[in-house]
Each structure stands twice: as structure tokens, then as C-alpha cells.
Structure 1
Amino acid sequence: MFTNEKRESIKLYILEQIHNNNSNIAKLTSEKLQISLNTVYRYIREMISNNIIARDSSSKSKLKLIEKTKLVNYKASDPLEEDRVYINDVEEYIKNFPLNVRTIWEYSFMEMFNNAIDHSEASNIHWYIVQNYLNTTIIIGDNGVGIFEKIKKYYEFTSINDAISELFKGKLTTDKEKHSGEGIFFTSRILDTFCVLSDGKIFTHNSYTDILENLEDIESLKEWNDKPGTEIVMSLSNWTKKNLKEVFDMYSNDDGQFIRTQIPIKNMFENGYPVSRSQAKRLCRRFDCFKEITLDFKDITEIGQGFAHELFVVFKRAHPDIKINIVNESENVRKMINHVTLG
């Protein structure tokens, strides 16, 4: 007799194989989990009976996850409050999850929906959910001015790419009297997938290739780059062990002050690698808002001498109290940093 934990682990493993479109799932599960084929088939029949999975119409031997979807539209002129929207319309899809998952969704949805209410200047706001037994995806969209364009104009940046780059750092807002600029920063780090689509551009910490592939599976986003306004796509495993407090603690001091940030260099320089002093100066913009900065050089094969010198010598001399950490650097990146700092 299996324990409840063991039974749930068997179900989740089968579902993950279905989600990944693996073939011969029964044999794979039997061998991996060392259970009989009859046991695997029993679990599959049970999940079909419980409307968790179904036979794919394209093939009797193929299985698919059953998805629930819902689209809700609002007029921005109506009195909208993010907590009431969540409690009245969204919570029914989240309420049976573990506390850590409920907490993450409550925070993430309310922060992003409030942004749409306060900043988008939209006439319409909507949210859309796609949910199966494994994962939940929620999209919040509007037909407003577009988040990147609004940031660009407010801060008088020269390009939309500059606005996107600043979002990676955090503490960025176009309404300092009412907002701290922390919502997108923490939401983007706690969820499994988070991306902002606007003005034909993407802000995300995830792989751009993975994001584009995932967008193709969502009917309402297939022509996202031609739509006005902003679409925020958020996904989270229904079984995640993530904890919102742990993410806050990673970037805060003992008093709860937001003093640390981490920046994925690859995502900021997606069309190449950083070379020039000007690029380094834009990267360092608003670094003085933090006491500790981690630069993640994952997938960056090299950097230019001017970029490295401006960042690790010129900026460091001017701001000796700001700690800069380097992670995931390649050998070439490490050599260039040593070249400018060690002489």
C-alpha cells in the first residue's frame, strides 16, 4: 500500500511525462518508479476518470492534460480594486493549493493588476487563466500606452531598450509618490515564468527562445507584437516549494530594506555582448540605489575592454561602498575583468 505522498509522486511523474510529450509513458514510469505496468495503467485510468487527463483526439495512445481557461474583461472606468478582483474572480482557481502557492499568486496578481489600474491609462483591462493539474498561467493585459513606452518617456530614455534594461534592476516606477517600483522585480523572481510584452519587445528573466515558444501555445497572444498596451504573462507550478518570504529575504537586509539586486547581463544585451563604455554607463545607471549588486554573466562569452574598465574600475572608484558580485562568468570574461582591474 502506497502512502499519500508516494501516490501523488506517481501521478505527478506521469503528468510531467505527458506535459513533455514523452512516448511510451507507461513503460517509462514503470521502470523509473519501479512499479508494475498494471499500477501505472490504473493511475492513468483514474486520472482520466477524474478529468485530469484525456485521450488526445489525434491518437488513442496519446494523452493530454485537461486545461481550464477563463477570460474576464473590465472597463478601466469602472471602480476597480485589485484585491476585490482577486477575491471575487481569481481566488477560486487558487484556493485549494498549498499556502506558499496561494501567497505567491495573491502577491503577484495584485501587484500586476494594480499596475494596470494605476499606470496603463487603458480603457480596458483583462485577465486570462490557463490551468491544468501541474501548472497555472495567468495573463493580465490592457490596451493602454504600453509599460516600456511610459517608462521611456518618464525617465527621458533614448530608447525602449533602455527602459527594459532598467526594469531588471528594480526600484523603478513612474509614480514615486504611490509606488516603490518593487512589484515587477519581486514578481519576476518568484514565478517560474514571468514576461512583459509591450511595443513589440519582451522583458523576462527566462530564456527568450522558451518564452516565444510558450507564447505560440496561447491563442490570445499569437499576435502580441501587433497589439497596443501591455500583456504580463505569469506561470507557476501548482506544486512549487518556492516561498515568497525567502525571495524577499534574498534581496533585503535584516531590517527588510531592498538593498540588493541581481542582473542577467545576457537578457540586457540579447542582441550581442557588451563592448563599450557607453553600455557600461547605462548599465550602472541607478546602481547607487543599492548596496550590493550581482551581475550574472551566464551565456555571455566575452566583454569589451572599455565596458569592463568603465564598470569594474571607473564606477568602482566612484562608488567604493557598493559591492559588486560576479557569477557565471566565462573564462574570457574573467580574464578581461582581471585585465582591467589587475593591470
Structure 2
Amino acid sequence: MIGVRKRGEAIRQFILENVEEHPSDIVGITTSQFQISRQAVNKHIKLLVEQKALVVKGATRSRRYSLHPLIEWTNSYRLEKTLEEDLVWQHDISNLLKELPDNVRDIWHYGFTEMLNNAIDHSSGSNVSIHVKKTASTTNIKIIDNGEGIFKKIQRELGLSDERHSVLELSKGKLTTDPNHHSGEGIFFSSRMFDRFSISAGSTYFSHEFGKTEDWIIEHKENQTGTTVIMFLSNNSSRTSKSVFDSFTSHDDYGFTKTIVPVHLAQYGDDQLISRSQAKRLLVRIEKFKKVIFDFDEVETIGQAFADEIFRVFQLQYKDIELVAINTQKQVQQMISRALSHE
């Protein structure tokens, strides 16, 4: 009887840990994992619904499950100079997350205060709203301001020709429109600490998932006002903020010295990366780092001029910077090798 009870607990724990990734097919996933019938899985789900651990929506064929929120909290603030992100954390947010492990709370403290500070200092908006949703498994925080929009602001301040160039610059790190007051590290490190991190503004959506070197960008049809930041993290994550910082610093000076550049962000639509101007766009501010990893995932081909500008011309100018190419397909590697052979 004890064995049956433990198996039931294992099945229900599996459902809770996987339902957010599989809201519409969690029954099938669980059936396959434990080699039990759909009827048996549905009994466990019914119990979790009765215990208010799960929420169910929709009819039989369109039924979707989600974790029942333990906390749902929303508040709005005037974006005034008197608003301080750390006081909002102390007075409003910290208490909502008090039962989380210390390492998880540390990540939330860093990410929340950095993103709220960006809204206060850079959005040029009048209002910011904060939404916290905590379940038994995960926590999700949204910060939404009604300002200019982060990508448009970066485009304007840096004189970029396209909002999408702003995403490429954000993905490198060390980007700030106010260097006297900001290091430009907040968004970069926040995006690397959380399980999922996204920013949407205007018609552009930027996202990063932990464990993946690449960032990705989507264009929306609708033009959204302001900026929305969404941070998502498991309540039981073993990750620490220190481990993320350490992975992008050199231990001799503990500076932010390494970056990973998702090369595919430099190409739009069906464009191929062939020109020196495209390469120069990718190389903007790269001289600020000691090691640069160019991730060619999703890039099928590059031109000779593009490869030459990065791996020969730039490298000759900055010999102390280590350039590394990863996830290169055959044609891409051939072009890089050709550029290196002319050093």
C-alpha cells in the first residue's frame, strides 16, 4: 500500500513539474512516462484540481491545464524620480517571495531591481505596472511601462537604422544610453539568470532561454506601446547569480569580459550575411570584450567579405581579443577558414 502511495505521489509530482510546458498534452506525456492508462492519469489530475494545485479550462478536446496560482499580485506606480526600485522590492515584492530558497530570491532581487530601474531611468513613461504570479513550481514577474519603448529608444540614441539592430546590441551586453550612470550589464545578466526572459516593445520581441547560447527575435504585426519585461524562474532552481556572473568574467580582474553573439540576429528575413557592412554591424562594441563567441546557429551560409571583415580585418586590429566561432555549418566554416588563411 505504501508503494502504491509513493507511486501516486511521483505521478502527481511529475504532472506538476511538466504541466506548464505541456498544458494540453500533459495526460499523454504522463501516460507515456509511467506506462499507465489515460483514465489513471485523469484520476490523479482530478485529485490535483480538487486540491487546488491545478486549474483546468476548456472542453474535452481543447482542455488545458495550468498550475493554480498561490499568489497573484498586481500594483501600479507613477514613474517619478522619487520611485526607487529597491524600496519597491523591500516593501512590496520581497515578502511575496519570502519562502523561496536564498539563491532564487537573490536572482529575483537582481533581475527585478535592474528591470524596474530601467523603467524608472530610461522609459520616459508616466506609469509602470508590476504583476507577480507564484505557483507551487514557478514564479513569473511582469514589468510593464507606458514609455517610448526600449528598442526604439536604443535605435534613436545610438543612431541605428532599424529597431532590430537594438536587439543585436542588447544581446552582446555592455549597452547603455547613459554611460555616466549605467554599466549596461543589467539586461544582459538578467536575461542569463532566469529560465526564460523576454522583452517586447513596438513591433519587436526579444527572448532568451537559460541553457541556450542563442537569443531570438520575433516581429509582431501589432505595434505595442511601452515596454514589457517578463521573467520566469523555477522556485527550486539550483542556479546562483554568482555562477552566471562568473561564466562571463575573467577571474584575474572579475570584469565582464566575455560575450556570446547570436549571429543570426544580424540577418533579417531571407537576407544572407554576405557584406562587410553586415559584419561591421555585428562587430559594434565588440572591442569592449576580451573573448567573443560568435554563435552561428541557424546561419546556413555567409559571404567571403563578411567572414573576412570579422576573422581577418577586425582580428588584425584587435589582436588581444579572442574570437571563437561555434555551431558552424560546413559552408560557414569554410569561409571562416579561408579568412584565417589570409592572416
User: For the superposition of Structure 1 and Structure 2, which TM-score range results when normalised by the shorter chain?
Assistant: 0.7 to 0.9
Once the two structures are superposed, the pairs formed by residues 90-169 of structure 1 within 5 Å of their partners are 90-169=93-172
State the distance in 2 between where 1:176 and 1:307 align. 30
Contact kept, 8 Å, 1:55 with 1:61, in 2: the verdict is: no
Partner of 1:291: 290
Which deviates further from its counterpart, 68-77 or 246-255? 68-77
Instruction: Specify whether residues 48 and 325 from structure 1 end up closer, same or farther in structure 2 by C-alpha distance, changes over 3 A only.
Output: same
Match of 1:50 in 2: 51
| Residue 252 (1) aligns with residue 249 (2) | yes
- More displaced 10-residue stretch of structure 1: 320-329 or 200-209: 200-209
**Cα separation, 1, equivalents of 2:45 and 2:134:** 19
What is the root-mean-square deviation in Å for CA atoms of aligned residues? Answer: 3.3
Change (3 A) 1:332 1:226: same
Q: Hey, what's the Cα distance between the residues in 2 that align with 1:246 and 1:294? A: 19
The one-letter code of the counterpart of 1:54 is V
Closer, same or farther in 2 for the Cα pair 1:175/1:24, shift >3 Å?
A: closer
Distance 1:9 1:91 in 2: 31
In structure 2, stretches of 5+ residues that fail to align are none
Report what 2:266 is aligned to: 268
Aligned ranges 1:1-343 → 2 under 5 Å? 1=2, 10-19=11-20, 20-21=22-23, 23=25, 25=27, 29=30, 32-33=33-34, 43-59=44-60, 62=63, 64-65=65-66, 66-67=68-69, 69-77=72-80, 79-205=82-208, 225-254=222-251, 255-271=253-269, 272-342=271-341
CA contact (8 A) 1:12 1:134 kept: no
Following superposition, the deviation at residue 228 of structure 1 comes to 2.3
What is the CA-CA distance between 1:193 and the residue it aligns to?
1.7
How far did 1:156 drift?
A: 2.6
Using a 3 Å threshold, how does the CA distance of structure 1 residues 189 and 315 change in structure 2: closer, same or farther? same
Q: Take 2:215 and 2:182, find their aligned partners in 1: how far apart are those partners?
A: 32
CA 156–41 in structure 1, closer or farther in 2 if over 3 Å, else same: closer
How many residues are paired up?
333
**CA distance 1:23–1:152, change in 2 (3 Å):** closer
CA contact (8 A) 2:248 2:259 kept: yes
Q: Alignment partner of 1:312: what SS? A: helix
- The one-letter code matched in structure 2 to 1:258 is F
Q: Contact 2:207–2:216 at 8 Å: present in 1 too?
A: no
Q: Do the aligned residues in 2 keep the contact of 1:191 with 1:234 (CA within 8 Å)?
A: yes
What CA distance in whole angstroms lies between the structure 2 residues aligned with 1:315 and 1:183?
27
Q: Deviations over 1:72-94 (max 9, x none)?
A: 21111372111221232223442
1:271-296 deviation per Cα after TM superposition (whole angstroms, max 9, x unaligned): 23321100111111111111000111
Deviation at 1:57, TM superposition (A): 4.8
Secondary structure of 1:96's partner? coil
Query: Cα offset for 1:38?
Result: 10
Q: Is the 8 A contact 2:215 2:262 kept in 1?
A: no
SS in 1 for 2:19: helix
Contact preservation (8 Å) 2:167, 2:217? no
Q: Cα offset for 1:30?
A: 6.1
Range that drifts further, 47-56 or 259-268: 47-56
Shift of 1:143: 1.3
- The whole-number CA distance in structure 2 between the counterparts of 1:339 and 1:172 is 32
Q: 1:174 to 1:241 in 2, by over 3 A?
A: same
Answer with 88-97 or 168-177: which moved more: 88-97
Q: Secondary structure at the match of 1:205?
A: strand
Q: Contact between 1:197 and 1:225, CA under 8 Å: does it hold in 2?
A: no
Cα 1:261–1:28 shift into 2, 3 Å: closer
Answer yes or no: is the 8 Å Cα contact 2:191–2:197 preserved in 1.
yes
Cα distance in structure 1, aligned partners of 2:148 and 2:62:
47
Q: Distance in 2 between matches of 1:202 and 1:60?
A: 31
CA distance in 2, matches of 1:256, 1:191: 21
Secondary structure of the equivalent of 2:92?
helix
Query: Residue by residue, what CA displacement relative to the aligned partner does 1:133-180 show, whole Å, maximum 9, x if unpaired?
Result: 333222111111222222223223333233322111111111212111
TM-score w.r.t. length of structure 1 = 0.84
Give the 3 Å change call, closer, same or farther, for CA 149–36 of structure 1 in structure 2.
Answer: closer
By percentage of residues, which structure has more strand? 2
